[in-house]
Each structure stands twice: as C-alpha cells, then as structure tokens.
C-alpha cells in the first residue's frame, strides 16, 4: 500500500541530516512536481502496483490496453444496455476482489482441515484453527442467532461469509501495494443489494402473503376512513424504509473505509510538505491512524454483519 511505503520513506527522510537535504534539493528555479498520492490510492483504475527492488520501489502494470507511453485504458469495449454504459474490463479492485476471495477460501479450507486433524488427535482445535473457531462461534451465537430469531441457522453461512469477506477486503487495503476494495461504492452497493435480496426473501418465506403488510400499511384496528388515510400516508414511508436499509449498509462501509485512508494519506502528505523535524508530528499521527484503521477494518465487517442480521430478524418477526 502506498500509505505504508510512504511512511517508510518518511522515516528515512527524517533521519537524513539537514545538509544532505539541502544537497539533494533541486536547483533554484526548478518547478516542484505536484504529486497526488490520495486520489490514485482510493479510486479504481486499469493499472496496479507491484513491488520492485529499485526506487521508487514499485512498478505499475497495465491491466488493460496500453495507450501512448504511459496511458492505460479498458481492455474490452463498453457494453450498452439501453441508457446504461457498462464495461466489464478487469480493474485494480476486481483483481483484489479475486485475490481476497481466493485467500479467504484457502485460509478457511486449510483451517477446517487443521480443525478436524487437531480434534481427532487431541480432542480440540489449537493455534490458528482455535482462533478462527472462537470468532465463528462468537459471530454465530452472539450476533447472528439472537438477532435473526428462531430457526436462524440457515442464515449463518451467508452472514459469516459477509463478515470474513469484508474483513479480508479491508485488511488487504492495509498491506503494502494493496487496495481497499470496500472503498469502492460499487463493491459495497453490490454487497448491500445481495443482502437486501436475502432480507426480502427471508420475509416472504416467513410471512407468506403477510409480506405485503411490510410494504402497504393496513391497520385493521382503525376505522375505515382513518385506515385509508393511514394507508396513503404510511405506505410510502414503509417503502422508503425498505430502500434505505441497503443504502445505509453500502454508504456506511464505503464512507468509513474511504475516510480513514484519506486522513492517513493527508498526514503522509504533511510529512513531505514540512521536510523538517516538524514532520515528526504528522508521522506519529499517521502511525496512530494506521493502528485505528486496523481496528476499523474489524469494526466495519462486524457492523455490516450485525445490521444485516438485525434487518433479517426484523422482517421475519414483523408479524408478531
């Protein structure tokens, strides 16, 4: 990740004597180069960075077609579906989505095998497998089942998958040369839409024809004129309430992951702006923000899973 690599370079810069900085400074009259380190890191693109042994210690590769000397554009042409223009070319975030999914699958499969092997040998798991088991049991017993309600075991695989996939995607953005795919609104919106479908299907299965009461407000305890008036007023409110749930899931995850990286990269920018002992202050602030980002990576995965379980439980129990 550019942030961590920049922190390393900042520490090296602070260690240099002032005379060395003056000697390395560009000649008078040379225009300083303005480099945007924030936007390329938090946005998607058709190129990505790989580790490289020589300064600046990374090498850009193009995931699409080369244009000119340094340009890179989409690999495949746009697809037009009515008024929509879509492009299915691979991008940096798409690559990291596949990397995250592959890593998570391998880790979980290997952990499951280690769990079975340890249980057969000594009667209990140990090491990393025991840690993963503790996380799974906590999310299942303390977050999913109490909020989803009775017969909620069918939702455990999906919600656990959401938790670990979001966690993996968040953590990939904290490693050098990584990218936070959950800082892309398209990714978080897709996760929210899938969760919305799960919520509504759960409501249909639990309520049957009573599912319509979650959209159209019809209180049989009221007099007919008041009932009709409340139907006209409250039905749009009920519909808006349904729509805002996936929007809240998508925006909350996207905003929190993006904001943290912007703050971190802003502090890193201050390090290279001051170029003196004053840079120590933003340097230590950047380290503190990095530690906070690690906590936020777990927290946002937990909150997404918790709210999804709450929304599923609400619609399944709405007839009570």
Q: Tokens representing 151?
A: 């017969």
Task: Indicate whether 49 belongs to any domain.
Answer: yes
Residue 196 lies in a domain: yes
Number of folded domains that form the chain: 1
74 part of a folded domain: no
**213-226: string of b/e by CB count within 10 Å (b at 16+)?**
ebeebeeeeeeeee
Is pLDDT of 6 > 70? no
Query: What confidence category does residue 18 fall into, taking pLDDT thresholds of 50, 70 and 90?
Result: very low
Residue 183 main-chain phi, psi, to 5 deg: -90, 10
Report how far residue 35's alpha carbon sits from residue 88's, in angstroms, rounded to the nearest whole number: 29
**194 falls in which pLDDT band (50, 70, 90)?**
very high
What pLDDT score does 9 carry? 41
pLDDT digits (tens, 9 = 90+) for 133-189: 999 999 999 999 999 988 899 999 999 999 999 999 999 999 888 899 999 999 999
Other beta carbons within 10 angstroms of residue 52's beta carbon come to 12
Quote the pLDDT of residue 47: 86
250 found inside a domain: yes
Judge residue 158's burial from the number of C-beta atoms within 10 Å of its C-beta, 0-12 exposed, 13-18 middle, 19 or more buried: middle
User: By CB neighbour count within 10 A (0-12 exposed, 13-18 middle, 19+ buried), where does 109 fall?
Assistant: exposed
Of 3 and 68, the structure prediction assigns the larger pLDDT to: 68
- Whose CA is closest to 51, among 2, 94, 11, 104? 2
How does pLDDT run across 83-104, given as a tens digit for each residue?
Answer: 888 889 999 999 999 999 999 9
Q: Is the pLDDT of residue 20 over 60?
A: no
Q: From CA 12, how far away is CA 271, in angstroms rounded?
A: 11
Mean pLDDT of the chain: 86
In this predicted model, what pLDDT tens digit does every residue of 233-250 receive, in sequence order? 999 999 999 999 999 999
Distance of CA 72 to the CA centre of its chain: 25
Would you say residue 70 lies in a domain?
no
* 308 CB-near residues (< 8 Å, 6+ apart): 159, 162, 195, 198, 199, 249
Q: Classify residue 69: in a domain, yes or no.
A: no
Q: What are phi and psi of 68, to 5 degrees?
A: 70, -150
Whose CA is closest to 158, among 312, 314, 300?
312
- The answer, yes or no, to whether residue 22 has pLDDT greater than 90, is no
Per-residue pLDDT, 14: 39
Q: Is residue 26 part of a domain?
A: no
Domain range for residue 170? 2-18+36-64+84-316
Asked whether residue 78 is assigned to any structural domain, the reply reads no
For the whole model, what pTM was predicted? 0.85
In the predicted model, is pLDDT for residue 59 greater than 90?
no
- Give the model confidence (pLDDT) of 90-143 as tens digits: 999 999 999 999 999 999 999 999 999 999 999 899 999 999 999 999 999 999
């Amino acid at each position: 990740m550019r942030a961590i690599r920049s922190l390393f370079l900042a520490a090296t810069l602070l260690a240099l004597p002032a005379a060395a900085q003056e000697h390395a400074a560009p000649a008078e009259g040379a225009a300083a180069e303005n480099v945007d380190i924030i936007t390329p890191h938090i946005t998607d693109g058709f190129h990505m960075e790989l580790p490289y042994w020589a300064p600046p210690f990374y090498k850009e590769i193009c995931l699409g077609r080369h244009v000119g000397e340094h340009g890179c554009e989409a690999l495949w042409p746009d697809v037009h579906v009515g008024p929509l223009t879509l492009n299915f070319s691979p991008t940096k975030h798409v690559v990291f989505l596949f990397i995250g999914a592959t890593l998570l699958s391998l880790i979980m499969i290997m952990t499951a095998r280690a769990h079975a092997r340890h249980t057969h040998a000594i009667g209990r798991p140990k090491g990393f497998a025991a840690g993963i088991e503790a996380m799974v049991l906590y999310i299942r017993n303390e977050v999913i089942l109490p909020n989803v309600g009775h017969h909620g075991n069918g939702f455990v695989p999906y919600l656990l998958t959401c938790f670990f996939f979001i966690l993996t995607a968040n953590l990939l953005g904290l490693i050098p040369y990584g990218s936070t795919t959950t800082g892309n609104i398209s990714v978080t919106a897709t996760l929210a839409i899938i969760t919305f479908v799960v919520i509504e299907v759960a409501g249909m299965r639990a309520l049957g024809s009573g599912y319509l009461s979650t959209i159209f407000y019809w209180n049989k305890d009221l007099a007919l004129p008041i009932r009709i008036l409340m139907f006209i007023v409250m039905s749009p409110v009920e519909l808006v309430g349904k729509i805002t749930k996936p929007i809240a899931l998508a925006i909350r995850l996207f905003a929190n992951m993006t904001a943290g990286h912007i703050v971190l990269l802003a502090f890193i920018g201050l390090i290279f702006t001051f170029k003196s002992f004053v840079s120590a202050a933003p340097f230590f602030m950047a380290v503190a923000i990095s530690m906070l980002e690690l906590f936020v990576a777990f927290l946002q995965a937990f909150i997404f899973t918790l709210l999804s379980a709450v929304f599923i439980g609400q619609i399944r129990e709405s007839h009570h």
